[in-house]
Amino acid sequence: MLSLLLLLAPVSALAARNNWNKACRGSCAYDLPNSGVLSIVGGDKAVSDITSAGGWSVLSCDANALSQHIRLVCNSAACEHLFEGHGAVNTVVRLPESCGANPFARVASVKVDSNQSIPGGAKSKRAAGKYANTVFLIRVDTDFAKVDASVTGPVEFRIEGYNYQGTVTAPAKDIARRGDNPTGYNNTLSSTLPPIKLNQKYPLFSGSVNCPNFTASVATALNVDVDLTVSLGLVVAGTVIPADITQFAVFGGLDGHAGARLSLDATALGTYSTGKVPLYSVALAGVDVPGIFTLGPTFDLLGKADANIKSGDLSIGVDLKYNVANARAYIPPQPSAVGGFNPDNSQLTLSVQPSIKTSGTVSGHLIPQLTLGLNAFSGIAKAQVYLNLDASTGIDLSLSASANASTGTSGNAASGTVDGCVDISAGLGVNVGASGSLFGLIGEGEYPLYSGAWDLYAKCFSAASKRAPEPGRGLRRIGLAGAGYRLPGDARQGLAERAAAANGLTCPTSSSKGQLVTIIEQIVGAVKKP
């Protein structure tokens, strides 16, 4: 078994062993394009080479196939290494760079080709040995599970992977092994991908209900502003023969800021929940060693809204904003894998129609998620791990406003009155989870890494006090007669109504229509809840 210190050797040292001028004899290394290093180690006769360094010239080969017949000619005595020991069949061989989709393969069968013609440039004039200038047909694949390890002996592998060349410096104790209980990552470094930047409005829900003389509706959207950098790291080791993974650790990180403005416009009453709505998804560059191990990362942005509008005609806007500094998660989970999370200031707006009691609850979620799909030995073992940051806001309101009511931070108006309470809070949950199985090294379930809650705004208004009205704050409903209100902008075009959620909408008790007045319009800072 490879020592863990060897497993974690710096990339620069491993890369120096990837020598196309030296034949693989029992061990071999391969640089994964822009993502790390793969190393194979076995018995002297268990790992061989069908490149020019190993004494071969390839005559025909599919550059994209995992399983295929390769036609090649022996051009020096070095090619005889393939046939030594237990024989060529079930030997792990290094392939030429332009031959096959995979760097290493299993020899499934070998025979002398009935066609012994050799192009002039491939025939060696100085070939020596018993197979000199003999053309063979070798079938290769990645079905390592078919090999009897008692015949070939074990063939081990290790992969250090990340998206761009760098150095992994985690100490040996931090790598998960069967029976181990790793205590923490002291200093794991990984290179990063280009930032993910989004600035776009995404509709979450639109529903309507036909009422006498007009159409009542509800529309919810998230106006997203995201600038996040993703970092990845992977260390995995085990045996190709027999197919097994014995040591594993994966790292994912997010840095930057994520935010969205939750908007809700409602004239209809009722309860709805959008569930998690996919807003954006992009596949990121990963680590791929076909037939042995693949890590495929994906960044997803999800949104969610829930509302219970009991009464009223209202428009709400609230920001979900937070800064992410060094958010880190590891599988297996590590207690120190958290980072810093700070909510940013929030712009709050709340407008209601006077003379109508407004009551209800609203919540919204913005969830960036980094998902890593893991596949070992062409599907023998599959697993998925993820890191998500669930930013949420909750609004609970019960208000009565008279005509011309208009307030700033005090909740008072000279020409009208406002009675009731508004409570707006924010929360952030950071979770890491896993599903599937990777030879018992990953346990299924979700593990909370961080949870925080903040007060954004909490005020009860009294009709007893008054102040001068603030002009220019009125909002007029558009299209209430005969059509449902829809959010402005191109993002609303072509949105299919979420029929299942809209089934719960009902008409308001009053058909009164008029100008909305602004009850709250201010920027607030988050206050940590005790």
The three-state (H, E, C) secondary structure of 127-172, written as one string: CCCCCCCCEEEEEEECCHHHCCHHHHCCEEEEEEECCCCCCCCCCH
One-letter identity of residue 144: F
User: Cis bond leading into 195, ω under 30°?
Assistant: no
> In the prediction, which pLDDT does 511 show?
63
Sign of torsion over alpha carbons 63, 67, 71, 77:
positive
> In the prediction, which pLDDT does 512 show?
61
Among candidates 418, 419, 420, 424, which has minimal Cα distance to 396? 424
One-letter identity of residue 286: G
Q: How are beta strands 68-74 and 56-60 bridged, if at all?
A: antiparallel
- Asked if residue 462 lies in contact with residue 407, where contact means CB atoms within 8 angstroms, the answer is no
**CB 154: neighbour CB atoms within 10 A?**
17
Q: How are beta strands 47-49 and 92-94 bridged, if at all?
A: parallel
User: Cis bond leading into 154, ω under 30°?
Assistant: no
Cα separation, 241 vs 243, whole angstroms: 5
What are the average pLDDT values for consecutive 10-residue runs of the chain, which has 530 residues? 30 52 93 81 95 94 95 93 96 94 95 91 70 94 93 93 42 35 34 79 91 88 91 88 89 85 90 92 86 90 92 85 79 63 77 79 92 88 88 87 49 54 88 81 78 86 47 29 27 32 71 70 69
Residue 282 φ/ψ region, left for φ over 0, alpha for ψ in the -120 to 50 degree band, beta for the rest: beta
> In the prediction, which pLDDT does 328 show?
75
Q: How are beta strands 244-266 and 358-376 bridged, if at all?
A: unpaired
**CB 10: neighbour CB atoms within 10 A?**
14
**What stretch of H or E contains 502?**
helix 499-502
Q: What is the CA radius of gyration of the chain?
A: 32
- Asked if residue 417 lies in contact with residue 476, where contact means CB atoms within 8 angstroms, the answer is no
- Asked if residue 399 lies in contact with residue 419, where contact means CB atoms within 8 angstroms, the answer is yes
Burial 322-351 (b: 16+ CB within 10 A, else e): bebeebbbbbbbbeebebebebeebebbbb
- Asked if residue 362 lies in contact with residue 305, where contact means CB atoms within 8 angstroms, the answer is yes
Cα separation, 357 vs 81, whole angstroms: 87
Q: pTM for the complete prediction? A: 0.75
